[in-house]
Amino acid sequence: MQDKTKYEIEFVVHSSPQLLYQYLSTPSGLSEWFADNVNSRGELFTFIWDDGEEEAKLIRKKSGELVKFKWEESEGDDTFFEMRIVVDEITKDVSLLITDFAEDDEMEEAKMLWENQISDLKHVIGSV
């Protein structure tokens, strides 16, 4: 298995941090834009798509600010994906900072996937 490279990608989102956090941290919020359906049992989240499902453990959350997940399949490595809400102190602009990992030859595809997902999120919350 190739080593994965960490990357960050930032999106401006016209939303309150509290509303945005609901879409990042709850199964019902995540199922509106991230997956077809999301179930959770405690810290274990099951993400369901047409072609299958994957489980991720919620390894960190800070109310109104961030959620950090680790895919079950990557248990033996240091990879994770994190969605962090950043508010500019001066302008009060809200951004969503995504931290994720991808293999070098899949980096552009991974970033495009996030761009599509966040586009769906913005549509759902009316931040288009």
**Average pLDDT score over the chain:** 94
CATH class of 5-125: alpha beta
User: What ranges do the domains of the chain cover?
Assistant: 5-125
Query: Which of 77 and 75 is assigned the larger pLDDT?
Result: 77
Would you place residue 42 in the very low, low, confident or very high pLDDT band (cuts 50, 70, 90)? Answer: very high
pLDDT of 27 strictly over 90: yes
Residues 6+ apart with CB under 8 A from 33: 23, 117, 120, 121, 123, 124
> Which pLDDT belongs to residue 60?
97
> Which pLDDT belongs to residue 2?
60
**Percentage of the residues of the chain whose pLDDT score is greater than 70:** 98
- Cα distances from 46 to residues 60, 61, 83, 108, in angstroms, run 16, 17, 17, 25
Q: Which pTM does this prediction carry?
A: 0.92
Closest CA to 101 of 63, 60, 73, 62: 73
pLDDT of 1 strictly over 60: no
Would you place residue 51 in the very low, low, confident or very high pLDDT band (cuts 50, 70, 90)? Answer: confident
Residues 6+ apart with CB under 8 A from 15: 94, 125, 126, 127
DSSP string for 65-102: TEEEEEEGGGTTSS--EEEEEEE-TTT--EEEEEEEEE
> Which pLDDT belongs to residue 119?
96
> Which pLDDT belongs to residue 3?
84
For residues 6-29, average pLDDT: 96
